[in-house]
Chains A and B, each alone.
Chain A
Amino acid sequence: MNDSILALNNVSQYFGSVIALQHINMQINLGEIHCLLGDNGAGKSTLIKTLAGVHCPSKGEFLYQGKSLELNSPKDALDLGIATVYQDLALVPLMSVTRNFFLGREITKGKGIFKSFDVDKANQIAIDGLQEMGIKVRDPEQSIETMSGGEKQCLAIARAIYFGAKVLILDEPTAALGVKQSAKVLKVIAKAKARGLAVVLVTHNVHHAYPIADRFTLLNRGKSLGTFLKEEVSREQVLEMMAGGQELAELQAELAEFLHEDKQQTSTLGGC
């Protein structure tokens, strides 16, 4: 495909004797939301760290715009426009919204030794950038802790977009959020896609991922179960593959048993 930006070619990752990832093939396209699904311990975190330049693959190729290259640090990845938003969001609680937005990439005015942080312009950009993502900032000079969890997530995403990310890797962006806040974050992710960014969405919540994702890659115990287009699979199929199917069937059987016991108990107690 022409608009492929990142690809992993037969990538394996070992930590000592542990096989964290084995023979992973993956292609990430611009303007697409690529959802990485897997249960705990499936290797999702290792995979995104490989994409983000934290780990260098033990085996296999890392392709950027069709060219094979090696990322040695997260900074290398960032320079290529691969931005990762981790679960801790990399926000400093005691600092203001604006100062967090521009942290590490402050815009300046003046020259030479009089170069200073342009607070007014930064405030305006932070407000506009968040507004575009559908978040109203009450006071950009206020501490970031006055924002809700969803708003903070959106700020971290908006920040990555503003600073020119082409690939956005999101680690469990809706993990700790309520229904409304999750919806807000998902909307922001959809907006990023509309802007032509490639989004890698890591989650184990199929219900959040299915509505907005274009492509799914399923991981299980370090191996890829394959990549599927949304048209090819239903929500239930994805869920089944993710949990290994069997476990869910067993769970259902067990639940049925509980229900059965419950009924028996109530009938012996005489409908109390």
Chain B
Amino acid sequence: MSTTEINKTLKIAAESDERIREISKIKSLLNRPDFGAMSGVVLVFVFFSMIANDSGMFAADGILNWTTVSAQLGILAIGACLLMIAGEFDLSMGSMIGFAGMVIAIPAIYWQWPVWASILLAFSMAMSLGALIGYIVVKTKLPSFIVSLAFLFILRGLTIALSIFFTNKTIISGVDDAAQNDWLAPLFGGEVATSFFNWLGSIGFIETFNDGSPLVSGIPMVIVWCLVLAVFCNWLLFCTPFGNWIFAAGGDAKAAKNVGVPVDKVKILLFMLTAFCATLYASCQVLEFGSAAADRGLLKEFEAIIAVVIGGTLLTGGYGSVIGALCGALIFGVVQMGIFFTNISSDWFRVFLGIMLLAAVLFNNYIRNRITRA
């Protein structure tokens, strides 16, 4: 290097006082935790709009179909996401769905409880159980993986045993009849914007049945709940002190405790949140379809975790996003239903899922290294 060149570099260094490098827009976008999932959503839509466009997947009822599936998983994924950012897992979510469903159905059908009371009972029981799981995790300092795995079996077994004990059945139907004229039930099993869809049907924008009622009668409450929950949790995570504590609890619990963050309280509250999400899922399902079964929610805990990881949240905690988890759930729902609409064997869905999971984890690790070294 010649002296003039050296002088030139020195001069440039002197002029730009701060040691800051221009980072291109694309690279700073890459630093977002949910970037991978967002591009995944685009990719999946492009793919299925090419191969499944004439299968009805993107007609009104098709769209409603995969948004409902995505929203159901989305509810679980949002809860699992916050908990995973705080550094813990809840494998009992799937069993909690079956449990909560039965707690709604049995009192309502067999004990003649009003449906609203059994819904409230389900929420309070599930959230107490969530608090218990959280309490055991923080007190024993055992990995939450083990504690919640134990509750996966305990709750599933309890659900089947108790429903046989009380009713001699594991599937209970007729909840929809019992829920008629109930003030709380439509909040979970109802639909919104029905008149709007009627109008869409009447102008011929969406297909109708022979009697003139539209094929899609409204937006199920599960989608509304999913969106409300997503907005609330995203705000909670990024815009409140509590959100700061969630990140800190998962990033470095000891450091967080040293500066006065109530890490144990945060974790217990988040275990209650996952239980709440599982119960919300169960309530929407039971009240929309009118039946509860003891084996509902099987493997849902893993699906939720997969959606969260695809959404860019680190398995080790401390980093992630709610929007990412929602994108993960959307990818999940679209691919699952897309494979159904295109008549591809559903076995391929699992292959796809596994590959997707592996790719997401690798990508997330890469992003984490980028951010901490940046």
Contacts and interface: CB of A to CB of B under 8 A. Distances in A.
Interface in A113-149: 115-117, 119, 136, 138-139, 142-143, 145-146
Interface residues of A, number: 30
A92 B256 contact: yes
B319 interface: yes
A103 B248 contact: yes
A260 interface: no
Contact of A116 (B239, B251, B255, B258): B239
A89 interface: yes
Chain A binding site: helix, strand, loop or mixed by DSSP?
loop
A103 B266 CA distance: 14
B247 A95 contact: yes
Contact of A138 (B18, B243, B247): B18
B372 A103 contact: no
A80 B374 CA distance: 38
A104 B261 contact: yes
Interface in A61-110: 74-75, 78, 86, 88-95, 99, 102-106, 108
Contact of B318 (A92, A115, A119): A92
Contacts of B251: 92-95
Interface in B176-211: none
A11 B245 CA distance: 37
A146 B260 contact: no
B254 interface: yes
B256 A103 contact: yes
A75 B259 CA distance: 9
A103 B244 contact: yes
A93 B248 contact: no
Nearest to A144: B372
B20 A108 contact: no
A92 B252 contact: yes
A139 B20 contact: yes
A145 B244 contact: no
A92 B248 contact: yes
Contacts of B373: 145-146
B372 A78 contact: no
Contacts of A115: 240-241
Given A91-B255, A93-B252, A104-B256, A119 B239 contact: yes
Given A92-B318, A116-B235, A117-B241, A103 B259 contact: yes
A136 B256 CA distance: 25
A86 B258 contact: yes
Nearest to A118: B239
Most buried by B among A74, A92, A115, A138: A92
Contacts of B318: 92-95
B256 A117 contact: no
A231 B299 CA distance: 73
B247 A104 contact: no
A117 B255 contact: no
Contacts of B368: 94
Nearest to B253: A92
A90 B18 contact: no
Given A103-B248, A104-B260, A105-B260, A142 B374 contact: yes
A94 B372 contact: yes
B255 A99 contact: no
B358 interface: no
Contact of B241 (A78, A108, A146): A108
Interface string B206-246: 00000000000000000000000000000100011101110
Interface string B268-296: 00000000000000000000000000000
Contacts of A106: 240-241, 244
Contacts of A117: 239-241, 243-244
A143 B239 CA distance: 17
B255 A143 contact: no
Interface string B14-46: 000011100000000000000000000000000
Given A104-B259, A105-B260, A117-B243, A94 B371 contact: yes
Most buried by B among A91, A99, A103: A103
Interface string B308-349: 000000100011000000000000000000000000000000
A116 B20 contact: no
A5 B42 CA distance: 63
Given A94-B247, A116-B235, A116-B239, A75 B371 contact: no
Contacts of A94: 247, 251, 314, 318-319, 368, 371-372
Contacts of B374: 142-143, 145-146
B255 A89 contact: yes
A136 B20 CA distance: 11
Contacts of A145: 371-374
Interface of A: 74-75, 78, 86, 88-95, 99, 102-106, 108, 115-117, 119, 136, 138-139, 142-143, 145-146
Given A94-B371, A139-B20, 14 more contacts: A75-B260, A88-B258, A92-B252, A92-B318, A93-B252, A93-B372, A94-B247, A94-B314, A95-B248, A115-B241, A117-B239, A138-B20, A142-B374, A143-B372
13 contacts: A74-B258, A90-B258, A91-B252, A91-B255, A92-B247, A92-B255, A93-B372, A95-B244, A99-B247, A104-B259, A117-B241, A117-B243, A145-B373
